[in-house]
Chain A
Amino acid sequence: MKKSSLTKLDPKLLAQIHDLMVRARALEERMIRMYKQNEGYFWLGGPGEEAFNVPLGLQINKGQGLEHEFLHLHYRSSAILLGMGMEPMDALRQMKNTATDPFSGGRNFVNHYSIRKWNVVPVTSTIETQYATAIGTGLAQRKSRRPDCKGITIVNGGDAGTAEGEFASSLVWSTRPGEELPILFIVTHNAWGISTAAATQHGEKHIADRARAFGMPAVTINGTDVEESWAAIEEGMKYVREERKPYFIESKVSRLYGHSSASGANRAESEKDPLPEFEAKLEKAGVLTRKEMDEIRERYEVEMREKAAKVKTEPMPDPSSIYDFTYYKQRGKYF
């Protein structure tokens, strides 16, 4: 591999990012196909956000407890999780709502992760509530309580959701004088809330301006560009980790297959695809050849097809389990 001329990032890292982006895309496209083949009731996910989400996943210090990152994630975060090392098979299991789904045991929609050993708190369908729960892990990691803590809290969500109260709550709570919270705020701005264009509802020029009003550093970046994303995340994380104060990234991303399966999950041709753009750069810089990239794509499509076929053979949840885990470690009907 030649050293890239266009980039500041190490070619090995660029190749790794590319590999994960393709894998994430292949995973989401396989899940869309599963939906269309009646192998799952509902799909929504993150194709179009890979150029931002893979660099984020790769930079996370994952693990359990306050010294690691706490993640309060949106439902378009598959590429973050793959970047952290998630097995795609597990996402496919949730897509098919099998008993083996490790995130919810067949109870929740796809891309609704929960991985306690990595501090991934339950992804919820309720828009923006993750910005409220992020306050809490941020409080637990704040400097006034734990001066030596190095872990940080990361929260992401969509642009339309910023109209909800929790968004304002999180800005207020994370900037209380002397009690600032180590939170990396991310808004992935795809310019839509289902069918409603952001431009028809939001008068603020940048969502990041709202964060600026609270005195936190805030940037608006092109989240379809790998290197711009990597750099912004790196800087934001470093700031939060060292200063123990919040940092805000508004990342402009694409929504390649519409909102969800409810709107058809068909490819939106008007949306910019970060992958071919990145691949053109990689080719030009001599990091990867077209042939190599085609092989990667082929490999992951086969992987996902085979895994999806295997998932089909796995058991559905046991109807007698409906009361299990209403309370911690509880099983069976308890009242």
Chain B
Amino acid sequence: MANMAQAIRMALHYGEENLGVQEIFGEDVGPPLGGVFTATQGLRTTWNSPLDERGIIGAAMGLAFAGVRPVAEIQFCDYIYNTIDLLKLAGNACWSTNGDWNVPMTVMTPVGSGIRGSLYHSHSFDATATHIPGWKIVMPSNPLDAYGLLISCMKDENPTMYLKPKALLRVKGDEAIPGEPPLTAEGEKQLRDMIDAPLGDRTKWKPKWPKLADFIVPIGKAKTVRTGSELTIVSYGRTLPLCAMAADQLLKEGRSVEVIDLRTLWPYDWEALSESIRKTGRVIFVNEETEVTNFGEHLIRRTVDELFYELEARPRLLAGKFTPGVGLADTLEMATQPQLPNIVEMAREVLAERA
């Protein structure tokens, strides 16, 4: 019963042992800390970089040019913004050279709210990330997907951006990662003892990795996590489990809501989305990025362009409020970021709407 941070660690271990990943680096990524969310503890090829985000992305690009598959971390996506022209260069290297170069690199960065992170530990990055062509952008919502998506990223021949929903990093999965100990309290403890660094002195500590297997979640494939017939909710990351909870709650009221975990933001699974929207005629896109020029707005535009005459209600977006930041106080974070009651409320509205 790995949590998402452990799943990421196990995927990286699999990557450095089997997929040619040779450099895993970023601020505080190496020993002794192993990442501010412990997602890089105990790995063989991790190291601490200078505190320099532009250097980190540039270094990753150069390593990728050299064929040394890197996984680089930006400690919080709040600090990735000064790297955007480098991200653009990584995204356009193949295109601008008419296919001569490719840039196989993965950038991981924690995103979103949910830890009372105030202005600079609550940002989202999906609107900006999906605005940079040439990248593949993924965001898991559970440990198994976290494992399988990261392996897909490390295998990809292109730059991949792995957004980690920080509110979910400690949430345990209910589906087994191939090779992890049994999904019991005992198995959970066993895994902790094997791969979690001890508190205090870690200089002599070495992890004991479970025998992990290759498992991928294909890039570009969404997952239907609740099947329903009256409304489609599309989400990813932190808000995805909330949408599933909303569907369960509405089911008790006799309403049938389908929930799709997008998993890959770009290039996304339009086939799955359009099929579901055609079936239900109603759709809400939920994410926690600020609502103006939000990625969900693109999805609404495409829904309107391609499915307008099949809709039975206005397609809607539920997203973060367009404020300069997320305020620290609980009341402020709750009022700024989409929460379960907001999702239920909007779902009821859309279900009640008569076209």
Contacts and interface: CB of A to CB of B under 8 A. Distances in A.
A320 to B, nearest CB: 14
Interface in B70-107: 70, 82, 85-86, 89, 93-102
A119 B67 CA distance: 11
Interface in B11-26: 22-23
B269 to A, nearest CB: 10
Interface string B305-332: 0000000000000000000000000000
Contacts of B61: 132-133, 136
A103 B86 CA distance: 20
B62 interface: yes
A139 B63 contact: yes
A67 to B, nearest CB: 11
Given A135-B55, A141-B66, A172-B52, A326 B98 contact: no
A126 interface: yes
Given A104-B96, A122-B96, A165 B67 contact: no
B58 interface: yes
Interface in B251-270: 266-268, 270
A153 B68 CA distance: 15
B98 A124 contact: no
A135 B58 contact: yes
A122 B93 contact: yes
Contact of B64 (A136, A138, A325): A136
Given A166-B54, A327-B134, A334-B267, A138 B62 contact: yes
B50 interface: yes
Contact of A70 (B58, B65, B70, B86): B65
A116 B67 contact: no
A136 B52 CA distance: 14
Contact of A135 (B62, B85, B98, B266): B62
Interface of A, helix, strand, loop or mixed by DSSP:
loop
A261 B98 CA distance: 25
A172 B23 contact: no
Interface residues of A, number: 48
A134 B86 CA distance: 13
Interface in A289-335: 324-329, 334-335
A132 B99 contact: no
A192 interface: no
Contacts of B133: 326
Contact of B62 (A65, A116, A133): A133
Contacts of A137: 62-63, 65-66
A114 interface: yes
A57 B100 CA distance: 21
A87 B318 CA distance: 56
Given A124-B89, A132-B86, A326-B94, A66 B158 contact: no
A115 B65 CA distance: 12
A122 B157 CA distance: 17
Contacts of A132: 54-55, 57-59, 61-62, 86
A77 interface: no
B86 A129 contact: yes
Interface in A131-152: 131-141, 145
Nearest to B45: A145
Contacts of A129: 58, 85-86, 89
B60 interface: yes
Interface string B116-140: 0000000000000000011010000
Contacts of B89: 122, 124, 126, 129, 133
Contact of B65 (A136, A324, A328): A136
A121 interface: yes
A107 B63 contact: no
A153 B66 CA distance: 11
A176 interface: yes
A112 B93 CA distance: 12
A217 interface: no
A151 to B, nearest CB: 9
Contacts of B157: 327-329
Contacts of B95: 107, 324-326
A220 interface: no
A105 interface: yes
24 contacts: A70-B65, A72-B62, A101-B98, A105-B98, A107-B98, A116-B101, A132-B86, A133-B61, A133-B89, A136-B62, A136-B65, A136-B70, A137-B65, A139-B63, A140-B62, A140-B67, A140-B68, A165-B54, A169-B55, A173-B59, A326-B94, A327-B158, A329-B157, A335-B267
Given A70-B62, A132-B61, A140-B68, 6 more contacts: A124-B89, A124-B96, A132-B58, A135-B55, A139-B23, A327-B102
Interface of B: 22-23, 49-50, 52, 54-55, 57-68, 70, 82, 85-86, 89, 93-102, 133-134, 136, 157-158, 266-268, 270
Nearest 5 pairs between A and B by C-beta?
A136-B62, A132-B58, A105-B98, A140-B66, A328-B102
Interface of A: 65-66, 70, 72, 101, 103-105, 107-108, 112, 114-116, 119, 121-122, 124, 126, 129, 131-141, 145, 153, 165-166, 169-170, 172-173, 176, 324-329, 334-335
